[in-house]
């Protein structure tokens, strides 16, 4: 099984590109959303770490957002608690898909949390800042301050780009992304 890690800026279209590969995708963001809705242990730990913000189960994403906006250390506390569970879920996913030729890891903090392994294939999704901002503004929970908090805990994009074996220029058209994905799969299948 070859693991392909998708890297890039917030709103660059990483999840869109990940799905485009046509192989099983581990999407950390949707795993986190599920944890907030269903995991009472995560709720208990977050409530203990952030008692002023986390009050009821299932966890309200607005409470998480308020905690992150209140101060920078809160985001680190959340990541520390949630990361362990996400990593366990990822290991279950990898085990379940061990016979697949490829699996795709759509994990925003892949490098930061040292989840990737040396032989994983890293793909950087590059998009124009203006297009990213336009897409982010369409999200119902758009908050520039929140986004900048998340960016503060991420490694620089230049570093992620250098670490990547491939770069997909995402101009948000199906055709260009599909062509890039096809080329990558052909090259790593050799």
Per run of 10 residues, the mean pLDDT along the chain (length 190 residues) is 94 93 96 95 95 93 90 89 92 96 93 87 91 80 80 88 94 83 92
Bridge partners, 121 (sequence order): 4
Separation of alpha carbons 153 and 170, rounded Å:
24
The alpha carbons of the chain give a radius of gyration, in whole angstroms, of 17
pTM: 0.89
Class for domain 2-189, per CATH?
alpha beta
Q: What is the pLDDT of residue 104?
A: 97
The backbone torsions φ and ψ at residue 75, rounded to the nearest 5 degrees and listed phi first, read -60, -40
Q: What is the pLDDT of residue 153?
A: 79
- Among the listed residues 23, 30, 28, the one whose alpha carbon sits nearest the alpha carbon of residue 181: 23
The domain segmentation of the chain, as residue ranges, is: 2-189
């Amino acid at each position: 099984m070859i693991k392909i890690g998708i890297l890039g800026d917030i709103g660059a279209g990483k999840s869109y590109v990940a799905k485009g590969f046509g192989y099983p995708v581990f999407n950390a963001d949707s795993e986190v959303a599920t944890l907030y809705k269903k995991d009472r242990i995560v709720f208990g730990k977050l409530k203990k770490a952030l008692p002023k913000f986390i009050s009821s189960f299932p966890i309200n994403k607005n409470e998480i957002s308020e905690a992150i906006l209140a101060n920078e250390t809160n985001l680190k506390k959340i990541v520390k608690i949630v990361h362990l569970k996400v990593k366990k879920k990822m290991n279950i996913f990898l085990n379940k898909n061990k016979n697949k030729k490829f699996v795709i890891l759509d994990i925003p903090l892949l490098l930061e949390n040292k989840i990737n392994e040396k032989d994983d294939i890293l793909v950087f999704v590059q998009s124009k800042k203006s297009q990213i901002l336009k897409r982010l503004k369409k999200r119902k929970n758009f908050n520039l301050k929140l986004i900048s908090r998340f960016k503060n805990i991420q490694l620089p994009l230049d570093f992620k780009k250098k670490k990547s074996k491939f770069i997909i220029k995402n101009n948000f058209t199906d055709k260009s992304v599909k062509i890039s994905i096809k080329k990558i799969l052909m090259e790593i299948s050799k």
